[in-house]
Structure 1
Amino acid sequence: MKNGLLLIVLLSTGLFTKAQDLSLFKKEWLFQSGDTLPYRILLPQNFDANKKYPLVLFLHGRGESGTDNEKQLVHGAKLFLADSNRNNFPAIVVFPQCPVNSYWSNVQMVAEGSKSASRSFYFTKEGEATGAMKMVMALMGNLFARFKIQENQVYVMGLSMGGMGTFEVVRRMPNTFAAAIPICGGANPATAGSLTKTSWWVFHGGKDDVVLPKYSEDMVKAMKRYRVPVKFTLYPEANHNSWDPAFAEPELLKWLFKQKKKAEPVYNERGGGN
């Protein structure tokens, strides 16, 4: 009996290890115009190059910036490695990594008193995309060229800096994404009218003292004024790591992959669909 129990434990441990194996996200790098974008890519199990798959873009937070092509998998990657999710939601999942000297979103940050003090965020309405965002948009074009993408099922998720980047990449590629999930992010409410073609699920922590919840709240209010399809989940007791309860939402990926664009976009290299 003991040997049988031990065998079950070992088998279960082996299955869990396989499910959480970050090396399943293949390391790749995109080079363009002297810039380099590290990214990790997870292909569906039993990948068939002749079959179309949904595409999920995931934008990490500031703490995972760098060039090691490792840290961007700290938050969120295990969600897509879970066996149940890989079986139920086969998709191409991509985690790019932002360099430390850039930012996903074109946002200004102000700290008062000292450089390490809490920061206020001022989101620009217009202006040129950051270098990192330009590379992400180029990566999207590259993925569409290399793989057969189910064009009515292209999604983006992001947390903190990546939540801000989620709002921004949808604004800059308004005909591309069927659904977006920004977590503890924000954007300029004046840009809400550019987000109408995408379905949204916005998350924030009520006690977030890094990126205040008002940044998401203000966006959601503006989005509703423009009749953007959006729902908002505020975790009253969560601080900045509201991604933990968000990732634990049982309906999260079910909701995401249920969203489909009514008309398939035709991707073009200028960064969007027609």
Structure 2
Amino acid sequence: MKHLKLLIIYLLLFILQTGLAQDSLSSYKKEIFVSKLDSMPYRILFPPHFSAEKSYPLVVFLHGAGERGNDNEKQLIHGSSLFTSPEALANYPSIVLFPQCPSDDYWAKVKIDRNDAKKTFDFLYTKPPTRSMNNLIQLIDKLLDGNYINKDQVYVMGLSMGAMGVYEILYRKPNTFAAGIAICGGGNTHFAKNFAKQTPLWIFHGSRDDVVDPKYSVRMVEAILEAGAYPKFTLFEDANHNSWDPAFAQKEILPWLFSKTRKP
């Protein structure tokens, strides 16, 4: 009987957690951005009691390669619940954007060599942006046209492929973002000087990452330091590629992000 009661309690907790997760996802409104020649699905969260007469921070979250597609669902797997907790909604009312990259594209312009034991990445910022990056820039510009966005509190976050997109969009849209968070990614360190002093960064990586070598984050940190800025860097000793889990568990991640305002 005791075991049966425990089983019932576990089942009830599972049902409750599942329901809360579904409520979290449903808080993000489904939309599709349509440009002249293309389109991109995205989800967007508005704060409670949203008013177009007020202005709110904008957070852009870029998912990883595993969440690509066109279902307008998978991009919410990681990170979406960070902004729907009662604490986040009460303390950091903001507009949160989760665009979705198609399966055949990438946020960043990068050449990937899969012949080595580990993937190697060559970041090609001097080339035209990918179709998805181009759509993303247009979507952000469209949102920034609205008076309800606080232009001094625009943030960008991303994990893995999305973190690569973070570094690239900081290069392609200078003087736009007040801060950025890049988790288990990498970028073209030659261009770090273009955004290093303008945009504070918190960089995360797992020391055991066997998908994106942590050296890519280390090199970016070194390049930013060389450019005269001081990024936050957290290297999780026991984490593999899913270093977003311990990153999202950091109690200071949202206070740090929302404390930043765009530099003049």
SS at 2:145's partner residue?
helix
Aligned equivalent of 1:137: 137
SS at 1:221's partner residue?
helix
Whether contact under 8 Å (2:109, 2:129) holds in the other structure is: yes
Higher mean displacement: 152-161 or 191-200 = 191-200
Question: Is residue 2:22 matched to residue 1:41?
Answer: no
Per-residue Cα deviation, 1:152-204 (whole angstroms, up to 9, x for no partner): 11000000000000001111011100000000000011011111210100000
Aligned equivalent of 2:93: 90
SS at 2:234's partner residue?
strand
Aligned equivalent of 1:71: 74
SS at 2:164's partner residue?
helix
SS at 1:21's partner residue?
helix
Give the Å deviation of 1:142: 1.1
Whether contact under 8 Å (2:24, 2:80) holds in the other structure is: no
Give the Å deviation of 1:244: 0.2
Give the Å deviation of 1:127: 1.2
Aligned equivalent of 1:234: 235
Give distance in 1, aligned partners of 2:61 and 2:209: 21
SS at 2:166's partner residue?
helix
Give distance in 1, aligned partners of 2:22 and 2:258: 20
Aligned equivalent of 2:179: 179
Question: Is residue 2:168 matched to residue 1:168?
Answer: yes
Give the residue type in structure 2 aligned to 1:223: I
Whether contact under 8 Å (1:198, 1:228) holds in the other structure is: no
Whether contact under 8 Å (2:58, 2:155) holds in the other structure is: yes
Whether contact under 8 Å (1:19, 1:82) holds in the other structure is: no
Could you tell me which runs of 5 or more consecutive residues in structure 1 were left unpaired when the two chains were aligned. Answer: 1-5, 264-274
Give the residue type in structure 1 aligned to 2:200: S
> When the two structures are superposed, what TM-score results if normalisation uses the length of structure 1?
0.87
Give the Å deviation of 1:261: 1.6
The Cα RMSD (Å) is 2.0
Give the Å deviation of 1:118: 3.9
Question: Is residue 2:196 matched to residue 1:193?
Answer: no
Could you tell me which runs of 5 or more consecutive residues in structure 2 were left unpaired when the two chains were aligned. Answer: 1-8
Give distance in 2, aligned partners of 1:262 and 1:118: 38
Give the Å deviation of 1:229: 3.5
**Distance change >3 Å, CA 18–CA 70, structure 1 → 2:** closer
Give the Å deviation of 1:262: 3.2
Whether contact under 8 Å (1:20, 1:78) holds in the other structure is: no
Percent of paired sites with the same residue: 48
Give the residue type in structure 1 aligned to 2:143: L
Aligned equivalent of 2:212: 211
Give distance in 2, aligned partners of 1:229 and 1:155: 18
Give the Å deviation of 1:146: 3.5
Whether contact under 8 Å (1:56, 1:154) holds in the other structure is: yes
Higher mean displacement: 134-143 or 188-197 = 188-197
Matches within 5 A, 1:12-23: 13=16, 17=20, 20-23=23-26
Whether contact under 8 Å (2:168, 2:187) holds in the other structure is: yes
Which of the residues 24, 27, 31 maps onto 1:28? 31
